[in-house]
Every structure is written in structure tokens, then in C-alpha cells.
Amino acid sequence: MNKLLKRLLPVGLLLLLFVAQRYLSNSEREVETEAPSAPVSQEAEAEVGEVSLPMAPSSRTDILIEHEGFSLLFDTQTMCPRWVAWELTAEETRGRVSRQGVNFKEDEAVPEQYQVASWDYNGGQYGRGHMCPAGDMKWSQQAMQDCHYMTNVCPQTAELNKNWWEHLERACRQWARQEGSVWIVCGPVFSDSPKRFGKKHRVAVPKGFYKVVLSLKEGREKALGFYYTNDDAPQPMEDAVRSVDEIEKLTDIDFFSSLPDEQEGRLEAMTDLRAWDK
């Protein structure tokens, strides 16, 4: 059971996560996982609790994967995750695990024909862009290794990857220290007919990327969304700000559905970046 689910269970969240050959044991109530033999749709349900996994429209091209510290929904059509979700705590931001010597690798949690390799990106104009960043996984050697699976990677331009997207990643770590913990979900956005590249697997190139961040610190609850275009244009954080509602319309994903309706509606409408500076 990964770190994200371990954090959800103590607050009473019941997740039903089905992947081919995956089932919930009635006696031990633990999720047992085997590598699926074919893509299956996401079926994740939050019955009680504060935060659930994102809900995307059901698709036979999706594979739900749990890794140490984060979960993701992998789309075998685009060869990219639809979303990647994790909780980041203040304590975890002080981790000291190094990424030195940790390499990108195929993810055996998906069938072999969908195992994008690091060398699929060789010679292309796009870099390997982490969705769940290595900087958030320094609290565990296993988490650091897992975030280098290619299922956690999307094609990103160098300028976006090394500058504007990283600025947001650093801000999220600062917010985690400030708030005690934050919930983060991010992923790609595609055009109707995205261009593709790859040495063996044809990876779709996103037109942009979204990220939503939620803090449930008592008395200071807030949420915020961001959208960045996948190009080399300057993109200051304040220009990328969106409400979570706007990101939901853009992606057709329901991010925080297990929150009480009034709270969900209020938080998902927020667009004030300054509220995160307090």
C-alpha cells in the first residue's frame, strides 16, 4: 500500500481501486496489485473522508497505478499520465535522499507494449518532464526511484521544465512547509490531434500542463490551479493562475469531489495567489 493511501486511510477514506487482477481483501482490507495484462478503466471511489483521488471519465485506455508516495492514471493512448496525485508534508520537504544515480526507467506496472523507455525521448526536442517531481520525493529512496518511472513523465520543453514549471514545484514545497501539508494533482492537456514522437513508442506531446494545489489547514483552507503552455515563452506564476473550477473544465477531471459540497465550491473558485503567501 503506497504512502498516499496510508495517509488517506487514517482520516476514514475508503478507496476502491480496480486494475486488472487487483482486488480488495475482505479480511485484511489491503489492496493487492499485479501488473495488468491489458488496459482497464479507472474506478476510484471515496465514500468518506477529506480528499479522494481525482475522478476522470471512464476509459478502457487508462491504467490506475500506485507507487511509493504518489498515484497516477496512465493513458495508453497518449503514453502519458492523465493525472498524478500526491500529498506533500512539511516533514517530507526536508528529506535528504539524492537523485544522483537514479535513472528514468520503464514501468512494469503497465503491459510491455505500453512501457515507454527513456530512450524513446532521445533525439527529440522535448525533455523528460516529471509530473510528481524528484524534489518532492526526497523523503524515501523508494519514492525517489518510483518517481523516475516513465509513467510519471511527459514531454516538456526545456524552458518550461527548467524554469517556470520548476518555479511552481519549488513554491509547492514552500507551501507544504507553511501549511503543514498540501495535496497536489498535475498532468498534461492535449489538443485533439497532438503530434507524436518516440524511437519505439509514439508519445503524444501535450499542448500544456495543469496543476492544482489544496491546503486543508484548519481556518486557512484554500485551493488554486495553474495552467502552463508547453513552449519556451516566459510564464510567470501569476500569469498561470487559474481556479480549480477552470482546470476541471479544461481537463474534464473532478479533483476534490469528496470535500463537502459547500467547501468544495468555495475552494475550487479561488484565484488569489496572495492567499498562499500568508
- 33-61 pLDDT, tens per residue? 333 444 444 444 433 336 889 999 878 88
In the numeric block, the cell 529512496 is attached to 141
Which CATH number fits the domain 3-276, given the four candidates 3.90.25.10, 3.90.1170.50, 3.90.76.10, 3.40.570.10? Answer: 3.40.570.10
- 167-208 pLDDT, tens per residue? 999 999 999 999 999 999 999 999 999 999 998 999 999 999
State the sign of the Cα–Cα–Cα–Cα dihedral 42, 48, 52, 54.
Answer: positive
The whole-model pTM stands at 0.85
- 74-118 pLDDT, tens per residue? 999 999 999 999 999 999 999 999 999 999 999 999 999 999 999
Cell, residue 214 = 489544496
Nearest to 225 by CA among 190, 266, 273: 273
Q: CB–CB of 212/224 below 8 Å?
A: yes
